[in-house]
């Protein structure tokens, strides 16, 4: 990540989150920024995690999950789109209207800031949903990327404060279990894609998401797993684990090792054997 990129991303996120909070909306932050914020949250509290993990990877995008109360409400979606317009964000051609980009002034740490909106289809709501997009009926100019594997993204949330102008505003972070499920699917979808580094950083994110669990959170994750054990997404997550993260020679573990070599992180800073046991116990 270029120097100064994370403060810029948090500044932009803070501007969106501040306007959203004024309307009673909470934004759930996933992706690399969400993991970086959770890492800060863990380290600030001196929490003891299941396994060691090194510094997290760079990121240049914002992934924002919209909870059921937002994605199902055309009024709130309209207001959120108005906030994006006010702040200078424009829809990306070909990904209207769930990806937006804002051009940064010359000399900024990043030339643009990109925001992806995502949501799981909430049960009991009559929404417009296809294989790529989800939106409420009654408003067409803001969508989210439909993400069924985000089925637990509103469970076990924690709030962290980020800068917003001269003040601070709260955003929500998903439980590490949600990251594990999301990243298993992301790895499966990108493990053969040369343009996505063969899913190496997603594989490493799975390691990180498991390693940063505290003992208390591991128990919470097991309970979340039990609540959703009949869902097709959890069944598929178990298949992905079994296929790629069940042994030290599995493709997912090989991709983690490749990521460590590429980024110059010594392998003795991670515990891959322990990770495999933890992931098995988590999803069984």
- Asked if 65 and 90 sit in the same domain, the reply is yes
- Residue 3: pLDDT band (50, 70, 90) is low
- Asked if 114 and 142 sit in the same domain, the reply is yes
On average, the pLDDT of the chain sits at 93
- Asked if 185 and 123 sit in the same domain, the reply is no
Distance between CA 103 and CA 111 in Å, rounded?
A: 6
The percent of residues in the chain predicted with pLDDT above 70, rounded, is 98
Task: Give the chain's domain count.
Answer: 2
pLDDT of residue 64: 97
- Of 113, 140, 173, which residue sits at a domain end? 173
Of 57 and 106, more confident: 106
- Residue 176: pLDDT band (50, 70, 90) is very high
- Of 115, 149, 173, which residue sits at a domain end? 173
pLDDT by residue (tens digit) across 183-241? Answer: 999 999 999 999 889 999 999 999 999 999 999 999 999 999 999 999 999 999 999 99
For residue 215, the 8-state DSSP code is H
- Asked if 15 and 48 sit in the same domain, the reply is yes
Supply the angle between the helices 176-190 and 232-244 in degrees, to the nearest 10.
60
- Asked if 193 and 229 sit in the same domain, the reply is yes
Stretch 132-151: mean pLDDT, rounded?
94
By residue range, what is the domain housing residue 191? Answer: 176-283
pLDDT of residue 222: 96
Helix, strand, coil share (%) of the chain residues, nearest 5: 50, 15, 35
- Of 108, 140, 173, which residue sits at a domain end? 173
- Asked if 194 and 162 sit in the same domain, the reply is no
- State CA 136 to chain mean position distance: 22
- Asked if 153 and 236 sit in the same domain, the reply is no
pLDDT by residue (tens digit) across 37-54? Answer: 999 999 898 889 999 998
- Segments in 23-174 forming alpha helices (H): 31-44, 68-71, 74-86
- Asked if 26 and 163 sit in the same domain, the reply is yes
pLDDT of residue 2: 64
pLDDT of residue 79: 96
- Residue 1: pLDDT band (50, 70, 90) is low
pLDDT by residue (tens digit) across 144-158? Answer: 999 999 999 999 999
- Asked if 116 and 163 sit in the same domain, the reply is yes
- Asked if 83 and 9 sit in the same domain, the reply is yes
- Asked if 181 and 71 sit in the same domain, the reply is no
* 254-263 CB burial, b ≥16 within 10 A, e <16: ebbbbbbeee
């Amino acid at each position: 990540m270029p120097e100064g990129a994370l403060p810029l991303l948090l500044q932009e996120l803070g501007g969106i989150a501040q306007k959203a909070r004024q309307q009673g909306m909470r934004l759930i932050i996933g992706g690399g920024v969400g993991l970086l914020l959770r890492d800060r949250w863990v380290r600030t509290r001196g929490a003891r995690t299941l396994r060691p993990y090194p510094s997290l990877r760079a990121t240049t995008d914002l992934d924002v999950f919209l909870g059921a109360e937002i994605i199902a409400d055309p009024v709130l979606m309209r207001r959120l789109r108005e906030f994006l317009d006010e702040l200078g964000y424009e829809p990306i051609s070909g990904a209207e209207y769930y990806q937006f980009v804002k051009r940064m002034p010359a000399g900024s740490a990043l030339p643009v800031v990109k925001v992806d909106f995502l949501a799981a289809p909430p049960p009991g709501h009559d929404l417009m949903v296809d294989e790529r997009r989800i939106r409420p009926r009654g408003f067409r100019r803001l969508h989210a990327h439909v993400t069924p594997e985000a089925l637990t993204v509103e469970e076990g949330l924690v709030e962290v404060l980020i800068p917003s102008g001269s003040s601070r505003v709260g955003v929500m972070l998903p439980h590490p279990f949600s990251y594990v499920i999301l990243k298993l699917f992301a790895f499966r979808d990108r493990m053969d894609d040369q343009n996505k580094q063969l899913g190496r950083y997603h594989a490493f994110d799975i390691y990180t998401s498991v390693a940063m669990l505290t003992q208390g959170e591991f128990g919470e994750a097991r309970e979340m797993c039990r609540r959703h054990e009949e869902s097709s997404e959890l069944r598929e997550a178990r298949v992905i684990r079994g296929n790629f993260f069940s042994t030290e020679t599995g493709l997912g573990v090989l991709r983690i090792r490749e990521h460590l070599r590429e980024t110059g992180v010594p392998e003795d800073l991670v515990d891959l054997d322990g990770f495999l046991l933890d992931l098995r116990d988590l999803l069984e």
